[in-house]
Structures are given as C-alpha cells and as structure tokens.
Amino acid sequence: MATATAETELLIRTRRDLHQHPELGFQEHRTAGIVADRLRAAGYDVRTGIAETGVVGTLRGGAGGGPTLLLRADMDALPIQEETTHGFASTVAGQMHACGHDAHTAIGLAVAERLAARRERWGGTVKYVFQPAEEGGQGALRMIEQGVLDGVDRALGLHVWTGLPSGIVGVTPGPFMASAGEFEITIRGRGGHGAMPEQTIDAVMIGAQVVVALQSIVSRNVSPLESAVVTVSSFQAGKAFNVIADTARLLGTVRAFDVEACEELPRRMERIVAGVCQAMGAEYDFRYRQDTPPTVNDARMADVVRAAAEEVVGADRVRFGPEVRTMAAEDFGEFLLRVPGCYFFVGAMSEPKGAVHPHHSPHFDICEECMPVAVSVLEQAALRVLSATV
C-alpha cells in the first residue's frame, strides 16, 4: 500500500488532472476511462457504459459474509466558464468543475484502492459507483434503472462543501438535502401599444402578479416547522419600451425536505397561476419537472458516519444535527429512497487558501487539505458497515 504522502500526492494530482479536463453529464468519457483503469488495477470487477458513461467496480471482501455496500462518486462538470487563477484551471472553454465532483472522483478512487489493499479485513461486497450527470441529468436514476442497486443493502456518499470549514464533517439523520423541481410558466395575453393599455392583456403585469402570489405558498401553505423554497429565477417578457408584451415566461425552482410537499407544492402553484390568469383574462401553460427527491439519511447509518468521523477528526470537528442541512439538492437521494444509507459533507472552505466561493460559481475552488480527511472518514464508515450488521 502507498505511503500516506504518496497517496495524498496522487489524490491531489488526480483531482487537478480531472479539474483541467472537465466533462459534462453523459460525456465523461475520459474520466470514466481513468476510473475504470484504476479500479481494474486495484482488483475490482469493472463494468462500464452504464447510463452511457457510468462505471461500477465490484469487489468481494476476504472475511466472508457481510452486506453489499454501495459507495458513490459523481463525475460530471458544469457548463460554466472558469475564472479562477490557479495553475490547473479548466482547459475546456465553457466547462468547469464548479461543484467539487473532480474531488469526489479522486476521493472515490483513493477509497476504492484502500479497501482493495485491505480486503482481507472486511466481509461483504463493495460496489463502487462512479456516476455521470448528477447536475440535473438524473444520472443516479438512470444507473438505478440499469441495475446498480441490485443486491445492495446499504449506501454511502459524500460531498466536499464550502459551507463548512476545511476538514469539518457535517452529517445528520433524516432530511439532509432538499428535493429539486423546476418549473416553466408561460402567460399568454394580448400585446399592444404602451400608451393604450386598455386594449391589451398585459403579460408583464400578470406575470408580476403571479410572482408575488407564488410567495404566499411558503408563507401561508407550508408549516413554519417545515422548510420549502419557491424561487422565480427568470422573468422574460417584451422587447421594446413602448410595446406591451403579449407573452411572459417565468422559470424557477422548488425545494423541500418533505416528500409530500414535493407533490403538493406544484399543484398549489398551478392553482395560483390559473386563478391569476383567469382573473386577468390571460391563458397559461404550466410545466413542472421533479428532478430529485429529498436526500434523507437513515438514522443508524448517520450514526455510523458520525462515529467514523469522530475517530478520524475528533468529536470537536464533527457537526451532527439539522444545522448542517441545506436546501441545495443532490440525486444521491434516489439511492436513499431505496436502501438505507447516509450522505455527508466534508468541509472545503478556507479563507487563506481562497476557497470561499459558493458551489457553481466561476471562482469556485476547494481547500485540498479536506480530501485526505474525506478519504479516511468514508473508508472508516465503509469498514464499519462491512464488518458489522447495521
């Protein structure tokens, strides 16, 4: 097995190489090739081409018995032009690892290699999933539909997170990350001259009424003890200063921790849109797509991660509770709908390192010192699951 120094150097070198060569969802061909080669060299039985570019490595432990544990790392980048100044910036115009998936892949390979080197210590089976298209492409669901969860008993995954200081581990039982849905509302009125509004059905005015009315859903239809977000993030209408627009198009996102809320919120939204448009004499189209379910951690698996993290970094560097939750979304929740598991954060923020920008920013970067921590915590959590009944 490699020394700690050599392992860390390889970990960082791998992450930087992947960072320089980002690939969007379902296009991760180079990344998948690197992953498959490393897994085969470590002794895994490797399948490629799952959900187009996904890779799964399977390895049986040497101690006999035990569960089948799925470990997951996502591989895709985002369509963002990088604006960092470090020496390993993206070499692909308009594409960037702006969420940390380059680190996730590198961490996943390091954990896979550690488990392989110590396979006589654990029983059961590891199924390491390297997933494409987490960023809105429903890659997890595509891989599940192609059988990656067959025979799986438990699941673990992690996300490097600039919302926490570098090396801090954040985990909680129950809801951890929100569901994500996206909506498109098209309002069709009647255009006309800006000086003669009485001859028109003003799509801009109606759209503005809809935007304001939608805010009543969270404030008046969601319990104050629950959390939800309805955000209108784009309002497109009109092209001239003296022309009343006949059409307005609203785009946005809906987030919630509760599965029932995921179903009720879009129904409530459409009732509001229909009511406003009917009152104003307009027509509408309402389109809604549920991208991901909430990411809900199994309580016992969250305890396993907490114990592993405390062993690695100490109890004072573990945040365990609802304060680490976020309304950001993650399609790892698809796995957790089907098997008990846990998803957790490893802090990646560092002001001295300049790693202070939010995920999906063109300036995004991580403090790479968090990566060995992530490897050790995930490995220890995996060993606890593989060597005991959880």
For residue 131, give the nearest of 56, 70, 69 by alpha carbon.
56
Determine the structural domain holding residue 8 and report its residue range.
Answer: 4-173+298-386
Residue at which a domain ends, from 292, 310, 335 = 292
Task: Assess whether 134 carries a catalytic annotation.
Answer: yes
Q: Based on the domain organization, do 26 and 52 belong to the same domain?
A: yes
pLDDT over 80 (residue 182): yes
Q: C-alpha angle 207/289/181, rounded to 5°? A: 80
> Which pLDDT score, from 0 to 100, does residue 41 have?
98
> Which pLDDT score, from 0 to 100, does residue 1 have?
55
> Which pLDDT score, from 0 to 100, does residue 261 have?
86
Q: Based on the domain organization, do 304 and 248 belong to the same domain?
A: no
Q: Based on the domain organization, do 50 and 142 belong to the same domain?
A: yes
- Selecting among 74, 82, 102, 134, the annotated active-site residue is 134
Q: C-alpha angle 157/162/164, rounded to 5°? A: 85
d(CA 230, CA 183): 10
d(CA 24, CA 103): 15
- Selecting among 52, 76, 202, 331, the annotated active-site residue is 76
Confidence of residue 389 (pLDDT cuts 50, 70, 90): low
Number of domains within the chain: 2
**Which range among 134-138, 141-145, 215-219, 385-389 has the greatest average pLDDT?**
141-145
Task: Assess whether 76 carries a catalytic annotation.
Answer: yes
d(CA 276, CA 264): 19
Q: Based on the domain organization, do 357 and 259 belong to the same domain?
A: no
User: Model-level pTM?
Assistant: 0.94
Read off the CATH number of the domain in which 169 is found: 3.40.630.10
- Report the first-to-last Cα separation within the chain, whole angstroms: 28
Q: Based on the domain organization, do 355 and 371 belong to the same domain?
A: yes
Q: Based on the domain organization, do 340 and 321 belong to the same domain?
A: yes
Return all residues near 34 (Cβ < 8 A) that are at least 6 apart.
Answer: 14, 17, 18
DSSP H stretches of helix in 199-298 = 203-221, 259-280
Average pLDDT over residues 21-30: 98
Residue at which a domain ends, from 292, 310, 331 = 292
d(CA 262, CA 217): 13
pLDDT over 80 (residue 390): no
Q: Residues 345, 171: contact at Cβ < 8 Å?
A: yes
